[in-house]
Structure 1
C-alpha cells in the first residue's frame, strides 16, 4: 500500500488542523505505531509540503505495509530542524484495538459531551483507525472539542 493521493484528514480535522499547523490524526497514528514522538514546535518547523506528505502515509495497523514513515520523518527533522524524534515503546495492546468493550476514556468523553457512548457492537464496527482517533481524543479527563464532531462523523454518536 503506497501513499494516498491527498493528505488523510477527517472532516472534523480540516478546521482544527488549521492548514497543518497542528498534527493530524493520520500522522499521530503513525507516530504512535512506530513509537515516535515529536513536539508541536518540531512539527511546525517542517515545511508545509513535508507535513502534507507525512499525512499521506497509510493508516494501517501493519507497520510492515509502509515502513518509510519513520525514515521520512527522521530525514525531514534532520534537514529542517537539525534534530530527531524521540523514541518510545508503543503500547502492546492499546484499548482502541479491543472490540469487546468501549474504552473507559471514550465513555467518559461521551458523558462529558452529553452523548451516549457507542455500543460495544458499534465500537466493534468502527475501523481500527477510527477507534484509535476516538481513544486518542479521549485520553485526557477534560472535554475535547473534536470529540463530538468525530463521533458524529464516524456515526458513533448515540
Structure 2
C-alpha cells in the first residue's frame, strides 16, 4: 500500500490539525504501531512538508506493509531536530483491536458526553483505525474536545 495523495485526516481533525501544527490521528496511529513517541514540540520542529509526508502514510495494522514510516521519522528527526524518537513496547492487545466488547473508557466518555453508548455490534462494525481513534480520544479521564465530533463523524451519534 502506498502513500495517500494528501494527509489522512477526518473532518473533526481539520480545525486543530489542518495546518499540521498538531499531530493528526494517522500519525499518532503509526507512532503507536511502531512503538515510537515524539512530543508535540518535536513534531513542530519538523518542516511542514515533512509533517505532511508523515500524515500521508497508510494506517494499516500490518507493519510489514509499509515499514518506512519509522525510517522516515528517524531521518526527519535527526536532520531537523538532532533528536531521535523515544521507543516503547506497543501493547500487543490494545482495547481497540477487540470487537468482543466496547472499551470501558469509551462507555464512560459516551455517558459523560450524553451520547448513546455504542453497542458491541456497532463497535465491531467500525474499521480498526476508527476504533483506535475513539480509544485514543478516551484514554484520559477528562473528555477530549474531539470525542463528540468523532462520534458524530463515525455515525455513532446524531
TM-score using structure 1 length: 0.98
Which residue of the partner structure matches residue 125 of structure 1? 125
Which residue of the partner structure matches residue 38 of structure 1? 38
Instruction: Work out the number of aligned pairs and report it.
Output: 158
Which residue of the partner structure matches residue 157 of structure 1? 157
| Preserved contact between residue 99 and residue 124 of structure 1 (Cα < 8 Å) | yes
Distance 2:117 2:151 in 1: 9
Q: By how many angstroms is 1:117 displaced?
A: 1.4
Q: Which ranges in structure 1 are unaligned for 5 or more consecutive residues?
A: none
Structure 1 segments (4+ residues) deviating >6 Å: none
Which residue of the partner structure matches residue 105 of structure 2? 105
Which residue of the partner structure matches residue 11 of structure 1? 11
Which residue of the partner structure matches residue 140 of structure 1? 140
Q: Which ranges in structure 2 are unaligned for 5 or more consecutive residues?
A: none
Q: State the Cα RMSD in Å.
A: 0.8
Distance 2:157 2:96 in 1: 17
Distance 1:146 1:55 in 2: 18
Q: By how many angstroms is 1:157 displaced?
A: 2.1
Give the secondary structure class of the aligned counterpart of 1:49: helix
| Preserved contact between residue 117 and residue 157 of structure 1 (Cα < 8 Å) | no
Distance 1:18 1:124 in 2: 29
Aligned pair 1:49/2:49, yes or no? yes
Cα shift readout 1:48-96 (whole Å, capped 9, x = no counterpart):
1100100000000101000000000000000000000000000000000
Give the secondary structure class of the aligned counterpart of 1:83: coil
TM-score using structure 2 length: 0.98
Which residue of the partner structure matches residue 73 of structure 2? 73
Q: By how many angstroms is 1:18 displaced?
A: 4.9
